Chains A and B, each alone.
Chain A
Amino acid sequence: MCGDGGTEGVRESEAPMTHAARPVPASAAPAAPAAGASTLARLARYTLIKTVALFLTVVVGVYLTILIANMGGHVDEIRRGQIQEQVSALLTTPQFQALAKEVRDQRIAELVRLQEERLGLNQPFLLRSVAYLGDALTLNLGRAENMTSDTGSRQVRLIILERLPSTLLLFATANLANFFLSLLLGLSLSRQYGSWLDKAIIALSPTSAAPGWFFGIFLILIFAALLGVLPFGGMVAAPPPESPVLYGLSLAEHLALPVAALILSTLFGAVYAYRTFFLIYSSEDYVEMARAKGLTAQQIEQRYILRPTLPTILTNFALTLITVWQGAIILETVFNWPGLGRLFFRAIGLYDTPVIVGSTVLYAYLLALTVFILDFIYALVDPRVRIGGEGRPA
């Protein structure tokens, strides 16, 4: 769910997918019909409350990230030390050595003070953390401390934007392929349940316990090291081909292994979950009823199986989209893919707080937005969930 090769599973177990294999909680179905006139007012109130609640959630989440990313103020000490060191290193020239000791010390103190002022280190951390929070929430991401974009800019926005396309390319390809493949395969397996293909998928589904990077290593071993048909990593060949066609081919070649790794690590488990999910729904009484009425298999599937399962499917799709944004730190590391995950990892290694906070804020906003939109879509597709009703089935 947090979209990471390594922890995908940890959160996956909490994702609706697990839910999928279980009966939908009964609390999700308080079907009190709303009075027509007050619906609009209620909707407005609900929207407001929901927005405020989600915004507060984002604030708390981002503030916690700021605190952690600054080690509760400890990073400041590290940075002060770095400034001292830089300034001292700067002033080892012979002219400077010739100065009197007092003048020299004064000069150093002055330079350190200026530098600290520039970085805002002269203010207490608590005050600054609130300022950071304000900046982060208004998406005023500021300037990176140590990192630069490939074009040389220090703007966090540019640094993140630069990495975004490669992450989007990899994860959009893999996750969309995964989502549709598992949905379609799951649906078709639920129709031919008990076949050899069904049994094979069931037998393979425990392999989804391993994260993407794990399969990545095996794929590299087989296709890059042993067979030598695909590259070990990276995004395009070096130097990048001139013609757009060759560039695209090189991209596809580099994309093949990471996408395959991502698909391998989730597909079988997801197919199994969908298949079981659909099977549970197709044994409901109303489906039996529809069969007795003599509806065609297609009609039953569309009206009586897909319709009630739509909320869960939509949740999964939305979560799929979220993971697209975040990239995966380890998979990108293993494949040397220049995406957001690797950016994040490098930022942490360099104590570059603005970049860490910037990526987290972006993610938090996207997640909150998704949750918000989901709430309304639920109401549209699932008549059992009334807006303002108790509990969301997610």
Chain B
Amino acid sequence: MNTLRRAWRDLAQYPSAVAGLAIIAALVGLSLYTLITIPYAEAIRLWRGGEDVWYENPKNAQPVWTNWLPGPDQPETRVLKSADGTAVKTSRVVSGTTDIAITFAFDYTADGFPQELAVYFTSRFAAKQPYVSLTWHTPDGRAIRLGDFSIRPSQTYRLSQDEKLTRRLHGLPAERGLFAAPAEAGAERAALTPLTGRYELRVSGLTFEADSDLDAEFVLYGQVHGLAGTDHRRRDLMVALLWGTPIALAFGLLAALGTTVITVIIAAVGAWFGGWVDGLIQRLTEVNLILPFLPILIMVGTLYNRSLWLMLGVSILLSIFGGAIKGYRAIFLQVKEAPYLEAARTYGAGSGRIIFLYLIPRIVPILIPQLVSVIPTFVFLEASLAVLGLGDPVLPTWGKLIDDARANGALFQGQYYWVLEPSALLMLTGLAFAMVGFALDRVFNPKLRGL
């Protein structure tokens, strides 16, 4: 205990170790926060969800903080609903039919154009479909007719995909044509700038039955979204960034702990019993050296199952008979001859007692730095597997984000945030453990002190 306390005091003298510990503490805190706010089932529902979950998000939107950098500001997503009062809805009964007017009004201040525009209708009727017509009112007082149609119980009108509208807007898609200042409407497309001010989208609907009703939701898809941005399936990257934290920590810690502890026990058993046990362990280590590690992991992933926990098990299994056994064994062979072990034997201590109480504790000072330093390799291993498309099939992880980004050409299309965010977290985690392990190595290894 005293040794550990002293080690702790020594460790505090390394600024890098303190920084590393602070980062690890922050990551653990983030993991706890994630596990509490987004439970496992919810995370999977969100990450596996399609348009039904994420329809209000833009595709491949940059994170909001890109607006804080110098340069033109991009619009954020606006969602206005008649059902929850973010839009004004009035209805008036006129001779059997009901006039429903829904007005979506919003201020537009961004320097860039939105990504897409869509109106989601929901209606209730028995036989006769309600009928709507939409008009767009710009800040400078122009009114543009968008379209009129009857609607089904649930219907989506994507302004950006309405070709008739595009033609009316001189060939400009709705998200540009409806916002561009009029004088420039026919001019150079690259130079178009949006008109800022108050826009209105007016929906006037008619229902033909007594208890028929109509609601609409207008979504202006921005170019930036949330603190993390979104991917090609409109998913908020924040979900994966948050959930990647506990997974990376759990995978790294469990794999490092499992590997190190089992390796040490095996080495101690071999050194203590000697003879054929030792021989067998030595031969297994040599066989294991020839088995290619990553290829076997890939084979297991491709041929059997891609579950993260199976991968964890196989990684541990393949690592326990690693070269480290030889190093530990050499130390144990030395310790085996120590007088205190002879004393233990004379008082009749069993093999189990000797191995776990007399041999293994001797090696703990070497073990701790090794354990911490090996964590980053396993954290990166999970990411590596994901980059090969062998990530866990359901769980969102950092590696899977990088894989998605690569597979969808994020680097070619300038969506750097998609790669940079998970990479930064990976690097931070790896660095934190590496720095702590590094300092621990010096604290526990007197030979290295002062070097």
Question: A-side interface residues toward B, CB under 8 Å?
Answer: 1-2, 4-7, 9-16, 18-19, 21-23, 25-28, 53-54, 56-58, 60-62, 64-65, 68-69, 71, 74-75, 193, 203, 205-211, 213-214, 217-218, 220-221, 224-225, 232, 276, 279-280, 326, 329-330, 333-334, 344-345, 348-349, 351, 356, 359-360, 363-364, 367-368, 371, 391-392, 394
Majority secondary structure, B binding face = helix
Q: State which of B293, B376, B406 has its C-beta within 8 Å of the C-beta of A210.
A: B376
User: Contact at A210–B299, with CB atoms within 8 Å?
Assistant: no
User: Contact at A360–B385, with CB atoms within 8 Å?
Assistant: no
Residue of B nearest to A2 (CB): B293
User: Contact at B385–A6, with CB atoms within 8 Å?
Assistant: yes
The 6 A-B residue pairs with the shortest CB-CB distance in the complex, in nearest-first order: A6-B384, A25-B330, A14-B323, A9-B377, A206-B434, A209-B376
CB-CB < 8 A to B435: which residues of A?
A: 206
Q: State which of B300, B322, B377, B383 has its C-beta within 8 Å of the C-beta of A68.
A: B300
User: Contact at B411–A225, with CB atoms within 8 Å?
Assistant: yes
Q: State which of B293, B295, B451 has its C-beta within 8 Å of the C-beta of A280.
A: B451
User: Contact at A206–B431, with CB atoms within 8 Å?
Assistant: yes
15 A-B contacts (beta carbon < 8 Å): A2-B292, A2-B293, A7-B294, A10-B374, A10-B381, A22-B445, A25-B334, A27-B330, A57-B286, A65-B292, A213-B384, A217-B406, A217-B419, A221-B419, A221-B420
User: Contact at A7–B377, with CB atoms within 8 Å?
Assistant: yes
CB-CB < 8 A to B300: which residues of A?
A: 68
B303 touches A (CB below 8 Å)? yes
CB-CB < 8 A to A356: which residues of B?
A: 295, 299
User: Contact at B448–A330, with CB atoms within 8 Å?
Assistant: no
B430 touches A (CB below 8 Å)? yes
User: Contact at A209–B380, with CB atoms within 8 Å?
Assistant: yes
Q: How far is the CA of A74 from the CA of B420 in the complex (A)?
A: 40
User: Contact at A360–B295, with CB atoms within 8 Å?
Assistant: yes
CB-CB < 8 A to A221: which residues of B?
A: 411, 416, 419-420
CB-CB < 8 A to A53: which residues of B?
A: 283, 286
How many residues on B have C-beta within 8 angstroms of the other chain's C-beta atoms? 66
CB-CB < 8 A to B380: which residues of A?
A: 6, 9, 209-211, 214
B85 touches A (CB below 8 Å)? no
User: Contact at A207–B294, with CB atoms within 8 Å?
Assistant: no
User: Contact at B406–A334, with CB atoms within 8 Å?
Assistant: yes
B414 touches A (CB below 8 Å)? yes
Q: State which of A57, A217, A330, A349 has its C-beta within 8 Å of the C-beta of B302.
A: A349
User: Contact at B451–A276, with CB atoms within 8 Å?
Assistant: yes
B215 touches A (CB below 8 Å)? no
Q: State which of B290, B303, B438 has its C-beta within 8 Å of the C-beta of A71.
A: B303
Q: How far is the CA of A26 from the CA of B335 in the complex (A)?
A: 11
Chain B CB within 10 A, most for which of A1, A6, A232: A6
Q: How far is the CA of A232 from the CA of B413 in the complex (A)?
A: 12
CB distance from B272 to the nearest CB of A (A): 15
B68 touches A (CB below 8 Å)? no
User: Contact at A329–B323, with CB atoms within 8 Å?
Assistant: no
User: Contact at A329–B298, with CB atoms within 8 Å?
Assistant: yes
With A206-B435, A214-B383, A225-B414 in contact, do A75 and B303 touch (Cβ < 8 Å)?
A: yes
Q: How far is the CA of A317 from the CA of B385 in the complex (A)?
A: 28
CB distance from A357 to the nearest CB of B (A): 11
CB-CB < 8 A to B289: which residues of A?
A: 1, 367, 371
CB distance from B398 to the nearest CB of A (A): 11
